[in-house]
Amino acid sequence: MNSVKSLSAPAGRASARNASVGVPFSTVMFSIVALWLVYFLLISARGSMLGLDIQPDLMWRRVIVCVFAVIVTTALWFILRLFEQRKRWVLFAVALVAALPGALAIAQVNQVLFASLNERMEQAYAEERGFTLRRDESGNLLAEIAAPQEWQLKNTQDFDPDNPPVVTFVLQDAEDSGPKWYPLIDAALSRYYILLTWAALYIAFLAIAQAREAERREQKFRSAAKAAEIRSLRYQVNPHFLFNTLNSLSALVMTGKADRAERMIQSISRFYRHSLADQVTNDVPLEEEFELQKLYLDIEAVRFPDRLTCNFDLPDDLKDARVPGMILQPLVENSVKYAVSSLTRKVTISVTAREEFDRLVIAVSDDGPGVPEGAAHGFGIGLANVRDRLEARFGPDIGFSSAPTPGGYTTEIRIPLTRHG
C-alpha cells in the first residue's frame, strides 16, 4: 500500500505570511524604558564619582532628558513599524536616517536644560581655585586671577588695597571655538549611537518574533497534514469492511437465511453508528475500541456461527487509555479473513491489553494457520494501514510487530500510554 506522506508548508510562503508579525507593544516599551533608565543610572553614577555638589539640580534635568528620549525612541519605533514587511537592510537604512533628527532633538533639549547649570559649575570650579570666569562682548571666555605678589611689589605706586589688581587670560577665543552648532553635533553623536543600538535590538526582536510565527505556522500546517493523513488512512478501513459485510449479507439473502441476514443488518447498523459517532481523527477510550471490535465480531459470527469464538481481556485500569479510533479493526479483520474463513474448525480470536513500563501493549492473535499462502498482498495492506496510522499519530515512538507464532498468528502494538485525549 502506498501510504500518504506528511506535507509541510513551503518556507517561502510561510515567511511571506510572517512578515506582518510584530513585536508586542509591552516588549517594545520595556526595551525603550530599560535602555534610557540604564543611561540615566550610568550618568548619575558618573556625576557622583566626580563629587559634584549639585546633584539635585542635575537629577531633575536628567529625568526630563530621559523622558523626552523615551518619547523620541517611541516615535522611532512607530516609523520602523511602517517598514516591518520590508527586508532587513531596508529597516536598518530607515533606522540610520530616522534616528538622526531624534538624536539632534535629544541633544538640543539637553543643552537647553544644562546651559545655565554648566555656567554655575564652571564658576564654582573657578572659585574653588581662586579665579573667576566671564565672557566679554565678543564671546571670549576670560579667566581673571589676582596679580602675583612680585608684580604688586614692583608696582606699589599703582597698588590699591581696596581694589587689588588682577591678571586676565583668554581661555577660549570666540573665533577659535568654531561654529556654535559644534557642541550640539558632538552631544547628538552619543545619542545617535544609543538610538541605533535600540533600533538594532528592536530589529532582532522582530526577527525572533517572525521566526517563531513561521515555526508556529509550519507546525500548524504539519498538524493539518497529519490529520488529513490519519483521516485518509481511516477512510481506507471503512469501505474495505463495508464491502466484506455487504458481500456476506448478499450471500445470506441469496441462501434464504433471512433471520440471520436481519441480525447482521442490525449489527451493521449498530457498528457504523458507533464507529462514526466521533470525529475520525479523534482518539477514543480503549474500552470503546474493544466494544467496537466486539460488534464487528458479532457481525462476522453471523457468517461463521460454528467456527468463530472470541476472547477479550481488558484490565479495568486501562479502560480509559486512549487509542486511535478503529485502529484494531484491520487486525481483527485479518484474523477473520485468513484464519476463520480459511478453516473448517473453530478458531479463537483474542484481543488483549496490558501495561508495560508506562506503555500500552495491545495484542490481536488467533490460533489459525498463520499467513495462508497467496494472502501476503491483502494481508499486508491491513498491517501497513495500522502501522501508518500509528506513526502518523505518535511518530516513530511506537512498537509494531506482526508474525506467525506457534499455533497461530499475533500482531502486537506498543504505544505511549495516555489517558486523556
Mean pLDDT, all residues of the chain: 77
User: What is the reported pLDDT for 6?
Assistant: 34
| SS3 state at 399 | strand
Q: Are strands 131-135 and 141-146 parallel, antiparallel or unpaired?
A: antiparallel
Q: What is the pLDDT of residues 303-362, one digit of tens each?
A: 788 889 999 999 999 999 999 888 898 899 888 888 888 888 999 999 999 999 889 999
Contact 334, 365 (CB under 8 A): no
User: What DSSP element (H or E) covers 149?
Assistant: helix 149-154
Q: What is the pLDDT of residues 35-79, one digit of tens each?
A: 999 998 888 887 676 555 556 777 888 899 999 999 999 999 999
User: What is the reported pLDDT for 259?
Assistant: 82
Q: What is the pLDDT of residues 207-259, one digit of tens each?
A: 888 888 888 888 877 776 666 666 665 555 556 667 767 877 887 788 888 88
User: What is the reported pLDDT for 165?
Assistant: 61
Query: pTM of this prediction?
Result: 0.48
How many helices (H) and strands (E) in the chain? 10, 10
Contact 195, 99 (CB under 8 A): yes
CA angle 410, 411, 412 (to 5 degrees): 115
Mean per-residue pLDDT, 387-396: 84
User: What DSSP element (H or E) covers 171?
Assistant: strand 166-172
Q: Residue 129: which pLDDT band, with cuts at 50, 70 and 90? A: low
Lowest-pLDDT choice from 4-13, 111-120, 174-183: 4-13
Concatenating the DSSP letter of every residue in 316-330 gives: GGGTT-EEETTSSHH
Separation CA 287–CA 299 (nearest Å): 19
- The answer on pLDDT for 388 being more than 90 is no
Mean per-residue pLDDT, 131-160: 60
Q: Residue 287: which pLDDT band, with cuts at 50, 70 and 90? A: very high
Residues 6+ apart with CB under 8 A from 381: 1
The cell for 53 is 555638589
Mean per-residue pLDDT, 117-132: 62
Domains of the chain are: 1-126+180-225 (no CATH), 257-416 (3.30.565.10)
Q: Which range has the top average pLDDT, 137-151, 283-297, 376-390?
A: 283-297
**C-alpha distances out from residue 10 to 13, 34, 222, Å:** 5, 38, 11
User: What is the reported pLDDT for 174?
Assistant: 52
The cell for 66 is 530621559
User: What is the reported pLDDT for 1?
Assistant: 34
Q: Residue 266: which pLDDT band, with cuts at 50, 70 and 90? A: confident
Using alpha carbons only, how large is the chain's radius of gyration in Å?
44
Q: Residue 17: which pLDDT band, with cuts at 50, 70 and 90? A: very low
pLDDT top residue among 53 and 28: 28
User: What is the reported pLDDT for 285?
Assistant: 92
The cell for 310 is 472470541
Lowest-pLDDT choice from 104-113, 143-152, 264-273, 346-355: 143-152
pLDDT top residue among 352 and 190: 352
- The answer on pLDDT for 190 being more than 60 is yes
Lowest-pLDDT choice from 90-99, 179-188, 257-266, 389-398: 179-188
Percentage, residues of the chain above pLDDT 70: 68
Q: Residue 11: which pLDDT band, with cuts at 50, 70 and 90? A: very low
Contact 367, 331 (CB under 8 A): no
Separation CA 421–CA 418 (nearest Å): 8
Report the greatest alpha carbon distance in the chain. 154
